[in-house]
Amino acid sequence: MIRTDWTREEIKQIYFQPILELVYQAATVHRQYHTPSEVQVCTLLSIKTGGCPEDCAYCSQSVKYNTNVPVHKLLDLPTVLQKAREAKQAGSTRFCMGAAWREVRDNKDFDKVLEMIRGIKELGLEVCCTLGMLTAEQAQKLKEAGLYAYNHNLDTSEEYYEKIITTRTFQDRIKTLENVRKAGISVCSGGIIGLGETDEDRISMLHTLATLPQHPESVPINALVAIEGTPLAKQKRVSVWEMLRMIATARILMPQAMVRLSAGRLEMPIAEQALCFLAGANSIFAGDKLLTTPNPTFDQDQAMFQLLNLQPRQAYKAHASLSS
C-alpha cells in the first residue's frame, strides 16, 4: 500500500530498527514492487559548470568558495549529443544534464537546453535535467520539449537547511517540485547525508519526501563528496551503515520509487554497494564522472553488474505512479 500520511514517529520506528531487520524489511518491500536484479543506469553531464551564485556548503560549483573546479559556460549542442550517444553506447538509459544555475532564466541558454532535450529524446534516452529553480511556465516548456524527469533535491531537513544554504529556502525547493509535478514531469528528489546533520534531520527529510502529495518517482541518496575549499571539506566520510539506513527507510516509505545510490560510490567496495542494492537501491549514476567529481569507471561497474548478476533497466519502462 502506498501511503503519503507517514508520521515522524512511524518513520523513526522504521529507521532505528536493528540494521539487519531494517534491511530485511526493505528487501521484502523491494521484491513486492520491483525486479530485484534490475538496476537503472543513468549518466550525468555537467552542461554548465561552476560560477553558481548559491552558497550550498557542500558544492564545488559555488562562487563563494575557492575550489579547483574549472568554470565553463553552457556546452554546445553537438558536444552534448555526442556525450549522450556515448552514454547510450555504454548502456545508460537515462541522461541527466546538470547546470550550476540558481534558477532557469528565460534566455538563449534555456532555448539551447530545450534543443538538447529534443535531441537526446530522439536517441531514445530518458532525458532528465537539474537546472535549479523553475517557474510553472518553464516546467511546461521543458515538458513540451520532451523532458522526462527533473532532479531537484531537498538536500537536507527543513530544520538544518539554513546551516547548509542561506541563499534560498526549503520552501523554494518545495515550490519548484510542485511546478515540476504540475507539468507532468517525473519528479526526482532526494538529498545528501554527511553534512553534519543528525539522525533526526535525516528522518525529517525522508518525512517531507514521503508525505508530498505524490511520492517522487526517484529518490537519490547522495553521500557527501567532501570538496576542498568548501565549508564541509573536513567532514568525515559517511559509513555504509548510514547509507543503508537511509536507502532502506526510503524504500519502505516510498515502495514504488526508484531509490538511487548516487554520489559516494567511488569509495564503496562492491560488497557495500551490494548491501545497498539488497536494501532497495535500484538506480545508479554510471560514467567516470558525476558532475565535477570522479565516479567508478565503466569497467568497474561492468564487473560489478556481472558479479552480482544485475541487469540494466530498459528506458521508458512504465512507472507505476505516473499517469502518462
Residue numbers annotated as active site: 52, 56, 59, 96, 128, 188, 260
- Non-local (6+) Cβ contacts of 133 within 8 A are 102, 103, 104, 152, 168, 172, 173, 175, 176
Residue numbers of the site for ligand DTB (CB under 6 A)?
44, 60, 98, 130, 151, 153, 190, 220, 222, 225, 262-263, 290-293
The number of angstroms, rounded, from the C-alpha of 13 to the middle of its chain's C-alpha atoms is: 25
- Cβ contacts of 24 within 8 Å, gap of 6 or more: none
Q: CA nearest 269: which of 232, 233, 236, 307?
A: 307
If binding is defined by CB under 6 A, does position 62 make contact with ligand SF4? yes
Three-state SS for 172? helix
**Residue 1: C-alpha distances to residues 6, 109, 254 (Å):** 12, 43, 10
Tell me the window of 20-28, 56-64, 79-87, 309-317 that interacts with ligand SF4 (CB under 6 A): 56-64
Per the structure block, which three cell numbers stand in for 160?
538544518
52 binds ligand SF4 (CB under 6 A): yes
Residue 100 sits in the site that holds ligand SF4 (CB under 6 A): yes
Q: How many residues sit in the footprint of ligand SF4 (CB under 6 A)? A: 9
134 touching ligand SF4, by CB under 6 A: no
Which of ligand SAM, ligand DTB, ligand SF4, none sits in contact with 156, Cβ below 5 to 8 A by type? none
Nearer CB in complex with ligand DTB: 17/44:
44
Alpha helices in 34-127 (DSSP H): 77-89, 108-122
First to last CA, the chain: 21
26: contact with ligand SF4 by CB under 6 A? no
How far, in Å, CA of 30 to CA of 318, rounded? Answer: 17
Assess 149 for contact with ligand SF4 (CB under 6 A): no
The smaller minimum CB distance to ligand SF4, of residues 127 and 225, is found at: 225
- Is residue 235 within 8 Å of residue 8, measured between CB atoms? no
Among 98, 231, 255, 280, binds ligand SAM (CB under 6 A): 98
Interacting positions 228-287 with ligand SAM (CB under 6 A): 263
Residue 218 binds ligand SAM (CB under 6 A) = no
Interface with ligand SAM (CB under 6 A), residue from 45, 120, 185, 192: 192
Separation of alpha carbons 141 and 106, rounded Å:
10
Place of cell 558479479: 307
Binding site for ligand SAM (CB under 6 A): 58-59, 98, 100-101, 130, 132, 152-153, 155, 192, 222, 224-225, 227, 263, 291
Binding site for ligand SF4 (CB under 6 A): 52, 54, 56, 59, 61-62, 100, 102, 132
